[in-house]
Amino acid sequence: MFSWFVDGAYARALRRSALLAAGLFGVGSLMAMTSVKPPPKPAAKTVPVHDTAQAFCQDMARRLPNLPLAVCAKAQLTPIAAKSAQGRPLFQRDVISSNAHLRVLVIGGIHGDELSSTSLVMHWIAAAGETPSNIHWRFIPLMNPDGMLLDKPTRTNSHGVDLNRNFPTPNWDKEAPIYWNQRTQKDPRRYPGPKALSEPESKWLFDEMERWKPNLIVSVHAPYGVLDFDGPTSPPQRLGRLYLDQVGIFPGSLGNYGGVHKKVPVVTIELPSALRTPQEAEIRQMWLDLLRWTAERLGAD
């Protein structure tokens, strides 16, 4: 038998009752649903490919909430070898303490329609340079540029895959298709892909975790206004105004793969709005609360 929680993207009002009523599947339904038939592919769209940080920042400043061009330029992003499905480079910034003994990976924009997540990560790059910590920070502000940079941003990448359901959690080949078919009713926004790590964006993050071996992953999302956590150690109870509300695990999610399977703590931040960032004071308070928790629980002091 298998049981899962209802996807966090459903209305929060349904979440708690759904968490108490996990679905049970018999052998017959399991065998009938172990393949994933993809949703119809969206019409092909051309997304501008910006190979330089300057061009990327100009586009970001036009599109994202509360992201002045100066903030993005100050982030000093550099393109890395990883590219999106449409060939866009991913951009990175490392902020390294002289006494760093922890590695923290901060990810934004894994869902392309959560614009505020990328904006928050940009602001946190500046905060990392201004507040001392014994941490090597690695920021990837936008994991899904193909989805975010469309005229109408999409949750999925340009292949129509939800990158946050594409990681190789145990039994993905059975569990992800069942979850998508039955629990989401084949919602195209939550299509997990034809196989685990089918997408270049999720494959890069998988490889990066193997290469760099972060001690903590922080993944920024929106718009449910909660704090989630997967993995070992005690979770943070709050970051700013966001309080801990662990909503379960899902086949193929980063929290499931990283926190539960790989035993790397994964803090998942759900901002209250996908289109508006918190105010400056709140952004900073969230950052300070994250620093405090890493010092207390992970030894970043």
d(CA 118, CA 74): 15
- Give the 3-state secondary structure of residue 297: helix
Q: For residue 96, which amino acid is it? A: I
Query: Running DSSP on this structure, what letter comes out for residue 260?
Result: I
How far is the CA of 218 from the CAs of 125, 221, 259, in angstroms?
Answer: 13, 10, 11
* pTM for the model: 0.86
Which tens digit of pLDDT belongs to each residue from 36-91? 566 655 544 555 566 799 999 999 999 998 999 999 999 999 999 899 999 999 99
User: Of 189, 131, 184, 170, whose CA–CA distance to 252 is shortest?
Assistant: 170
User: Of 88, 97, 224, whose CA–CA distance to 148 is shortest?
Assistant: 88
Name the residue with tokens 């922890």: 102
d(CA 156, CA 111): 6
Which tens digit of pLDDT belongs to each residue from 221-253? 999 999 999 999 999 999 999 999 988 889 999
Strand ranges across the sheet with 266-270:
78-83, 89-96, 135-140, 102-108, 216-221, 266-270, 226-230
